[in-house]
Amino acid sequence: MGRQATDSRTRFAFTRQRVDEATCPPGKSQALFWDTEQPGLGLRVTPGGAKSFIFEAKLGRQTIRMTIGPASMPIRAPKDRRGNPTAAGANTEAARLAALVARGIDPRAEKAARVVEQAEQRAAAKAERQRKEILGTTAWAAYCKARRSKWSERHHAEHLAYASPGGIERKRARGKLTQAGPLHLLLNRPLACLDGPAVEQWVERESRDRPATAALGFRMLRAFINWCARHEDYKGIVVADACASREARETIGQPRAKSDALQREQLPAWFAEVRKLHPIQAAYLQALLLTGARRTEMMMLRWEDVDFQWKSIRLRDKVEGERTIPLTPWVAHLLSFLPRRNEWVFSSATSESGRLMEPRIAHNRAVAAAALPALTLHGLRRSFGTLAEWVECPTGVVAQIQGHKPSAIAEKHYRVRPLDLLRLWHERIEEFILAEAGIALPQPEAEPLRAIA
């Protein structure tokens, strides 16, 4: 009778009332009660009144006891009309644990693995939230850094300027601050929000006041988004078709190729005004015209790249890596009187880099003084190729001097012109340009010009 009485006090069908009424007898550290409807489901009560559901079972010769949850959780899982549980209950969790034991699985190990998995899921969810909060400016900085080795210095600087927040003191105008770049407002938002409508609004706003700037910025942005769509850190969050809007492309329009170039009759006026500039700027601009080089190739020219003995110049070529062209008489004459302050041929005593950085301003001033149409520095390169046709120079020779890719199979595989053959035609081109400009080549016995201090 005593045993049965004890069992009736510790074993009963769990109901909310019976669970709430259960207490720990005085003098005991805890009291355990067991559900008569769900095997293994128990209730633990402490002297302080804390209650929790537990599960106990035998796994081999080992007794397993686990906490299921607080006694405030549902005892029996509520069910819908079809009889399916709608929430977790103490009895359903005990039944699940009992099924694991029946299969020989330790529920404690399963719980530990589940805790680790949940922690990994939370960490992954947090990382994904952080990815979606990445600003466009952050991804733009990573893009510029990753592409730095593929770009020229000017191209890299343009990308930084277009996304600049501004507010930096100007170098040439003390007290005045720079303005934010055209792309800064668009990029200063989460990368995931950089979608089609945002790009359309930016294009419409920028195209009203500065269409050329908007067109260049749009091309930069399109290349940036394509890069993000391939990058492991940004794919999946960037809107890959953000620049595919028909309205944006129609507003920007198609880029038009420039055709600015010096005509033969314009050469005297151009040379006359350019030669009035600072000697280093004047030498740079004349060398640019007489070699057909790219503006950065000539600005990056070092003294070690100029060979006065064998009359050659080695240029850093963006297509082939480097190329060697003839050092023609007038260009050699110009370079021979430049100061050797440092490693750079076209050096500067004021710039941080130690070399000429922005000859465009001086060139524009000379062009305006000569009353010539607008002419870019790249227009000088275009002028070289155009003026070379007056001496009937072979197209392949001009392409090789200027560093263009061969445009035909024969040029690509069957024409390897030595430097002396290039010099033959290059000197003819230079002689023609100087003759049209009214400039006579210095004679070897003539008194040398005074070197620049």
pLDDT score of 306: 96
Strand partners, 181: none
Domain match, 382 and 291 both: yes
Report pTM.
Answer: 0.58
Task: Please state the domain count of the chain.
Answer: 3
Residue 443, in any domain of the structure: no
Domain match, 110 and 165 both: no
Domain match, 275 and 217 both: no
Task: Provide the H-helix boundaries in 148-210.
Answer: 153-162, 184-187, 196-209
Residue 160, token pair as written in the block: 């930084």
Asked if 91 and 38 count as a contact pair (C-beta separation under 8 A), the reply is: yes
Statement: residue 268 has pLDDT above 90: yes
DSSP conformation letters of 193-240: G--HHHHHHHHHHHHHH-HHHHHHHHHHHHHHHHHHHHSTTTTTTS-T
* Per-residue pLDDT tens digits for 175-190: 677 788 999 999 999 9
CATH number of the domain where residue 358 is located: 1.10.443.10
Domain match, 181 and 214 both: yes
Q: Which of 129, 155, 173 is the last residue of a domain?
A: 129
Domain match, 223 and 336 both: no
CATH number of the domain where residue 116 is located: 3.30.160.390
Domain match, 304 and 352 both: yes
Structural domain span for residue 36: 2-129
pLDDT score of 7: 63
Q: Which of 223, 252, 281 is the last residue of a domain?
A: 252
Domain match, 247 and 282 both: no
Residue 64, in any domain of the structure: yes
Q: Which of 252, 277, 292 is the last residue of a domain?
A: 252
Crossing angle of helices 395-402/377-387, nearest 10°?
150
For the chain, helix, strand, coil in percent to 5 are: 50, 10, 40
Residue 442, in any domain of the structure: no
Residue 446, in any domain of the structure: no
pLDDT score of 248: 83
- When pLDDT is cut at 50, 70 and 90, the band that residue 79 belongs to is low
pLDDT score of 120: 87
Domain match, 116 and 163 both: no
Residue 156, in any domain of the structure: yes
Domain match, 244 and 330 both: no
- C-alpha 142, offset from chain centre: 4
Residue 258, in any domain of the structure: no
Phi, psi (deg, nearest 5) at residue 59: -120, 100
Mean pLDDT for the chain overall: 86
| Residue 307, CA atoms < 13 Å, CB-side half-sphere | 11
- When pLDDT is cut at 50, 70 and 90, the band that residue 319 belongs to is low
**Strand pairing of 306-307 and 41-45?**
unpaired
Residue 238, in any domain of the structure: yes
* Per-residue pLDDT tens digits for 425-443: 999 999 999 999 999 877 6
Domain match, 306 and 397 both: yes
Domain match, 108 and 143 both: no
Statement: residue 445 has pLDDT above 80: no
**Strand pairing of 306-307 and 31-35?**
unpaired
Element (H, E) at 131: helix 107-132
Domain match, 246 and 324 both: no
Could you give the CA distance from residue 168 to residue 134 in angstroms, rounded to a whole number?
A: 24
Residue 452, in any domain of the structure: no
pLDDT score of 307: 95
